[in-house]
Amino acid sequence: MADSSSCFHCRKDLGGKRFVRHEGKLVCVDCHNKYCANSCAQCFRPISVDSKELGHKGRYWHEDCFRCAKCYTPLAKERFGTKDDTIMCLTCCSREDAPRCHGCYKIIPAGIESVKYKGNLWHEECFTCCSCRGPIGSQSFISKDKDIYCSSCYDKKFTKNCVSCNKAITSGGVNYQDQPWHGDCFVCSGCAEPLAGSSFTNHEDQLFCVNCYKNRVAKKCSGCNNAITGFGKGVNVVRFEDSSWHEYCFNCKGCSVNLPQKGFVLKGRDIFCTECGNKE
């Protein structure tokens, strides 16, 4: 490589010195390393003329720096691939492309049983209830927000219990006085007929349909001797001493005038307005 010409950069005579030709110009080794050498894409130091240089798609490496970005295996004499401009051995490339478990984030190898739900994959053993940590397997489960529950844990945590049987209400149900009931438990205490959607009343913490309340619980009107239910026309009641009347039955025995807002006289079981009472 002896030449009597001078270095393009430092202008020093190249006679007896090592030099290289760069882009058609003669450059001493020192100036080549300083001004012309490619920088290694791994260590960022210049690749000198004494180092073996490897290039790929416009980037350059020292031979010893050309390694897999994941396992650091030397790749100068091996087949390799790239992912997002990163150099990797073929084994690591295949691992990067493999699906990962949404639970443990480890690779799910081909041929391994997995669970797919809402676009995500899990190892079978990683697809578990977030409460009891038991594997879901083939049993039913419920998703709430980002969590997955087995049916038993979901019922314990979120499902209301019926105030009558204390069992979980999984569907439907009736709400009465801010308390939940199964539709099958919300029945008349007398005849056991369902009360949802029908008229009923509460007596001493027991529920009765209209007929059972009339026949079993309600007091009798001292006027017509029919039950005072508090429903419909008989919603207003007059009480005096130990007797009760429908408002519309509280009439003078003599002249039949209605007496709820008037003075009256009670004689035996009969009531009279003051005028008729004075005549009797």
pLDDT digits (tens, 9 = 90+) for 38-94: 889 989 888 888 888 898 888 999 999 999 988 999 998 888 888 878 888 888 877
pLDDT score for 233:
66
Distance CA 158, CA 229 (A): 39
The model's pTM: 0.38
Distance CA 55, CA 37 (A): 13
Q: For strand 25-28 and strand 19-22, is the pairing parallel, antiparallel, or unpaired?
A: antiparallel
Amino acid type, 48: S
Q: Which domains does the chain have, with CATH numbers?
A: 37-95 (2.10.110.10), 114-158 (2.10.110.10), 173-216 (2.10.110.10), 218-278 (2.10.110.10)
Residue from 175, 205, 176, 173 nearest 189 by CA? 205
pLDDT score for 62:
92
Whole-Å CA distances, 46 to 29, 33, 97, 150? 12, 6, 33, 60
Distance CA 44, CA 47 (A): 9
Low-confidence spans in the chain with pLDDT less than 70: 1-4, 110, 231-235, 280
CB of 15 closer than 8 Å to CB of 33:
no
pLDDT score for 87:
87
pLDDT score for 1:
41
pLDDT score for 216:
83
Q: What is the mean pLDDT of the chain?
A: 84
